[in-house]
Amino acid sequence: MTPWKRRLLAIGVLQFALATSAWAQESPQQTQWESSMAAGAAAFRQGNFPQVEKQYKAAVAEAEKFGRNDLRVATSLISLAGLQFEIPGPYGYTQRRYHTAGPLLARALKIMETAHGREDPSLLGILDILPPIYFGMEKYAQGARYSERALAIREKTLGPEHLDVADNLDSLAHLYRNRKTKSTLDRYSKPAYRGPVVDSGGDRAGRRTPQDYELGVSGSPTRDLVSGSDREQIKSAANAALAEPLFKRAAAIREKALGAEHPKYILSLVNLTICYANQNKKKRAEAEATAQRMWEILEKAHEQTPNVLVSAATAMRAVGRKDEAEQLEAKARAKAK
């Protein structure tokens, strides 16, 4: 089970505990809701996923009898959303039904916001899990907004130099760097004129509107200006530029709190090296300097995990240091035995 699936399960367990303790007084509706939730959990342990879905949907229906914004509804929705990542698919793969889970969790979040407020730390669990789900749905901007909200809550409640803030910065930076959007091309695209302006009189006489131009979209003349692999490099560089200050801040927090030889700080250097390298010649010097600092640390810090070493090797390859990358990969293989 991946860390974010474990987090989703933990959120559901916590919300169920809160809901059952808050309404400890027995009632037929409460008993039926708890029974549906328990039956769903039992079916989950048995791997009977159709029965799990049936019971959790019944739990949602029972909870809604208390009101559509009742916290029991949120608890049921979270459990139902968690199921969407456990349903077996063909060839032994687990399906990830992002388009089903996303709206369920978004509704649960709204209910919790109504109960606790938009800046309550209890929202952090869902705010952390929604970004990868919305990225799976290719709704990149919406996914990033959830992560930005989580960051704001952590900075307010924990302080700007807390390690949890560094983790959040890292996650948000990865979202920025890996997003797929046409908007990053706009600054490199020249507008293609679509025709003369019709003088209709009044305020619009002699003016052109945004609709008189096409910007960097499929089929526009801009494709002749920036095309093929160049377009992908431009997008990668623009996204990396957005991610860079977040990676830098996360690295500074980790170095101060954990020290230069800690695996998390080394992974921050990995992120920064690749981020600089993705910006092409513009940040080449920074990429090489960061890679060199990481290499010097790794020569002294011998107790690194294979995962850290492989990640560092990837960063070394990003700056063209193939020999060092192969040395790190060999160390990772030796440690993995």
pLDDT tens for 146-169 read 999 999 999 999 999 999 999 999
**Given this model, what pLDDT does residue 208 score?**
39
- Tokens standing for residue 185: 């091309």
Cα 141 to Cα 236: distance, rounded to the nearest angstrom: 16
Instruction: Indicate the pLDDT class of residue 81, thresholds 50, 70 and 90.
Output: very high
**Given this model, what pLDDT does residue 178 score?**
83
Q: Is the pLDDT of residue 322 over 70?
A: yes
Cα 52 to Cα 58: distance, rounded to the nearest angstrom: 10
Helices 306-318 & 284-300 angle (0-180, nearest 10): 150
Q: What's phi and psi for 284, nearest 5 deg?
A: -60, -45
**Given this model, what pLDDT does residue 16 score?**
46
Output 103 or 13, whichever has higher pLDDT: 103
Angle at Cα 133 formed by Cα 216 and Cα 48, nearest 5°? Answer: 145
Beta strand extents in the chain (DSSP E only): 192-193, 213-214
Q: Is the pLDDT of residue 42 over 90?
A: yes
Helix (H, G, I), strand (E, B) or coil at 196: coil
- Tokens standing for residue 286: 């920074």
Helix (H, G, I), strand (E, B) or coil at 88: strand
> For residue 38, how far is the Cα from the chain centroid?
31
Nearest one of 83, 85, 76, 67 to 15, comparing CA atoms: 76
Kindly give, in sequence order, each residue whose CB lies less than 8 Å from that of residue 267, ignoring residues fewer than 6 positions away. Answer: 308, 311
- Reported as a single tens digit per residue, the pLDDT across 261-275 is 999 999 999 999 999
Cα 1 to Cα 296: distance, rounded to the nearest angstrom: 35
Check if the beta carbon of residue 85 is closer than 8 Å to that of residue 97: yes
Q: Is the pLDDT of residue 12 over 60?
A: no
Cα 306 to Cα 288: distance, rounded to the nearest angstrom: 23
Q: Given phi > 0 = left and psi -120 to 50 = alpha, else beta, which region is 91?
A: left
Q: Is the pLDDT of residue 17 over 50?
A: no
Check if the beta carbon of residue 182 is closer than 8 Å to that of residue 216: yes
Cα 62 to Cα 64: distance, rounded to the nearest angstrom: 5
**Given this model, what pLDDT does residue 88 score?**
67
Average confidence score pLDDT of the chain: 80
